[in-house]
Chain A
Amino acid sequence: MTDLGSYQVQSQTLRTHAGLWKGHAGDIGTAETLVASAIGKGEDFGWLAGLNEVEDHYNTWTNAMDTALKDAKRCFLYLEAALNSAANAYDGVDSTVATDVGALKKILEGK
């Protein structure tokens, strides 16, 4: 993509924010691992909990959180990539190139 000139000080701010979202994506990855064994385990509350909706509510909630974590990670990886891409375009350095728009969209779509 186009090199928009050299704004290395400002582009560093974009990279700082890209790093922020990269960190969040990493934290969400850790969170996914932490809760993996807890997802959909409402039966562990016992038979009476099954009769009294706790099991269903727990499973509904944990499954929703599992999906939310995956979605969050996609959003954060996308923001990281989009901000780095913009930073690359403003760096004015040949070795850094803005990422293709299609590639950025794919991150958000989880493809």
Chain B
Amino acid sequence: MAEVSYFEDLCDGIQEDMETFATDLNNQIKRIADMLNDAASGIGGFFGHLFGDIDDAIDKWNNEILPAIDRMWDDVLTNVWDAVGDLAGRPMSLIDYAKAFSDVKAKIYVEGDLAQKMVIFQHDWKGYAADNYKAVATTEDTGLLNLSMAMDAGSTLTTTAANKILTLWRKLAKEFLGWVGDVLACFEKATEADAIISFEVPAMIEIAKTVYGNIVDLADILVEFLIEQCTTASVTWRQLANGSRGLPQNKWPMVEAANADVLNDPHNYQPA
């Protein structure tokens, strides 16, 4: 499967692997049917019929194993796509968003910029307006610091989620053929009638269930990760959403009306 970056890549890859699985499974079915036909019609068939093994094997193949393969195939097909669907997402978009948050963080805050300019300001201006300006400017500057910290946290959380989704997708893409290979291995051992007679349908069904069970396990890993991102990580989405991280209450510190009234009036500014 090619590199998986988008959900469509994952679906296309799984679709391709499912087609490979179907082809391989059909080849196994044809091989076993040919083997049984050859056994029934050939010398081996003569001795087989003598002991009744070939007839029993053909009966078991036709009446038990083939219908079970049909059911197993439907079961795998439905459940694989259900399980893959649970993993849907747009991690590459998330990576773009994370980059935007990170760029904002880098853009909006320069440490010490205001502090240095305030030294000059206080040298040149004094009085009520100067005091108000200092308070307002410091509050606004702190707002920028808090906003930049929120952007940093949002960027980290978003990147982490995107990477987790991509990692799980790529694990699924890489290992899927191996999982269906275990199902095919059940049939590869059936090289003679005896193996058909002893073939265990329930075991085949169980192995088939692990194909989509493994995908469900990946989804469970993602769920666990998402819950952790909301609740117990060092920085969580819950903290960002309720404003206990970054900008307090997620509200920008507005210039208070009373302070604005002072700053609006040039008479309140006194040259030092």
Return A36 CB to nearest CB of chain B, in Å. Answer: 8
Cβ of B47 < 8 Å from any Cβ of A? Answer: no
Return chain B residues, CB-CB under 8 Å to A57: 230, 237-238, 240-241
Chain A: residues with CB nearer than 8 A to chain B?
1-2, 4, 7, 9-10, 13-14, 16-17, 20-21, 24, 27-28, 30-31, 34-35, 37-38, 41, 44-49, 51-54, 56-58, 60-62, 64-65, 67-69, 71-72, 74-76, 78-79, 82-83, 85-86, 88-90, 98, 101, 104-105, 108
**A52 interface neighbour in B103, B140, B223, Cβ under 8 Å:** B223
A60 to chain B, nearest CB (A): 4
Q: How far is the CB of A34 from chain B (nearest CB, A)?
A: 4
B residues adjacent to A (C-beta < 8 A): 85-91, 93-94, 96-97, 100-101, 103-104, 107-108, 113-114, 117, 120-121, 123-125, 129, 133, 136-137, 140, 143-144, 147, 150-151, 154, 158, 161, 165, 219, 222-223, 226-227, 229-230, 237-238, 240-241, 243, 247, 250-255, 260, 263-267, 269, 271-272
Residue among A13, A28, A88 with most chain B CB within 10 A: A13
Q: Would B250 and A64 count as touching, CB distance under 8 A? A: yes
- When the two chains form their complex, are residues B255 and A64 in contact, meaning their CB atoms are under 8 A apart? no
Secondary structure call for the A interface: helix
Q: What residues on A are CB-neighbors of B267 within 8 Å? A: 2, 4
- Dominant secondary structure of chain B at its interface with chain A: helix
Please name all residues of chain B whose beta carbon is closer than 8 Å to the beta carbon of A90 when the two chains form the complex: 266, 269, 271
| Given known contacts A27-B107, A61-B154, A54 and B161 CB-to-CB distance under 8 angstroms | yes
Taking the nearest CB of chain A, how far is it from the CB of B216, in angstroms? 11
Known: A44-B94, A75-B140, A79-B136. A61 touches B255 (CB 8 A): no
Q: Is the beta-carbon distance between B90 and A1 smaller than 8 angstroms? A: no
| Chain A residues with CB below 8 A from B238, complex form | 53, 57
Distance A49 CA – B100 CA, assembled complex (angstroms)? 21
Report, nearest first, the 3 A-B pairs whose CB atoms are least far apart: A46-B89, A89-B266, A38-B97
Task: Tell me how far the C-beta of A5 lies from the nearest C-beta in chain B, rounded to whole angstroms.
Answer: 9
Instruction: Quote the shortest CB–CB distance from A107 to chain B (angstroms).
Output: 10
**Which of B100, B229, B254 touches A75 (beta carbons < 8 Å)?**
B254
- Inter-chain contact A38/B101, CB cutoff 8 Å: yes
CA distance A1 to B272 in the complex (A): 22
**A69 contacts which chain B residues (CB < 8 A)?**
147, 252
Q: How far is the CB of B209 from chain A (nearest CB, A)?
A: 21
Q: Which interface residue of A53, A54, A56 has the most chain B CB atoms within 10 A?
A: A54
Contacts of A75 in B (CB 8 A): 140, 252-255
Minimal Cβ-Cβ distance residue in B for A74: B254
Cβ–Cβ < 8 Å partners of A52 in chain B: 223, 226-227, 230
Subset of 23 A-B contacts with CB under 8 Å: A4-B266, A20-B113, A24-B140, A24-B144, A30-B107, A37-B97, A41-B97, A44-B91, A46-B89, A48-B87, A52-B230, A53-B226, A53-B230, A53-B237, A54-B161, A57-B240, A61-B241, A68-B252, A72-B144, A78-B255, A79-B137, A90-B269, A98-B266
Closest Cβ of chain B: how far from A11's Cβ, in Å?
A: 9
B135 nearest CB across to chain A (Å) = 12
A14 B241 Cβ-Cβ under 8 A: no
Q: How far is the CA of A2 from the CA of B265 in the complex (A)?
A: 10
| Inter-chain contacts of A104 with B (CB < 8 A) | 260, 264
A65 touches B154 (CB 8 A): yes
